[in-house]
Amino acid sequence: MVSRTDDDRILVKNYGVCESLEIRDFLYAGNREVIIEVANDGEGSFLCEIEAEPCKWLKLEMSSREVKDQEILKLICCLGSSGELSGGKSG
């Protein structure tokens, strides 16, 4: 199961096509972080892997982790208030 900590919607994958979670938060100024919960509603554990194209302005706190009960994934926007990468200039 996958859900956002700030939303009641829960995505569940048992059979068929996976549901998708569209995150549009970083299109708007001031949104710096999105927290996702990845939970195991079954027995045992599973490997959760996040695949993404290289992106200078987005940091994934977790890219691969064994999920027994629940894990937290943080997506962090690394752009400063002026649109520059935190800790340096963009471009």
Position 89 scores a pLDDT of 46
Residue 85 pLDDT greater than 70, yes or no? no
CB 75 within 8 A of CB 60: yes
Whats the size of the chain, residue-wise?
Answer: 91
CB 71 within 8 A of CB 48: yes
Q: Six-digit token pair at 1?
A: 């199961």
Position 90 scores a pLDDT of 43
Q: Six-digit token pair at 45?
A: 């554990």
Give tens-digit pLDDT for 40-80.
888 899 888 887 788 888 888 877 888 999 889 899 998 76
Give tens-digit pLDDT for 5-49.
898 888 887 777 777 788 889 888 888 999 999 888 888 998 888
Q: What is the DSSP string of the chain?
A: -EEETT---EE--SSSSPP-----GGGSTT--EEEEEEE--SSS-EEEE------TTEEES-SEEEESSEEEEEEEE-B-TTSSBTTS---
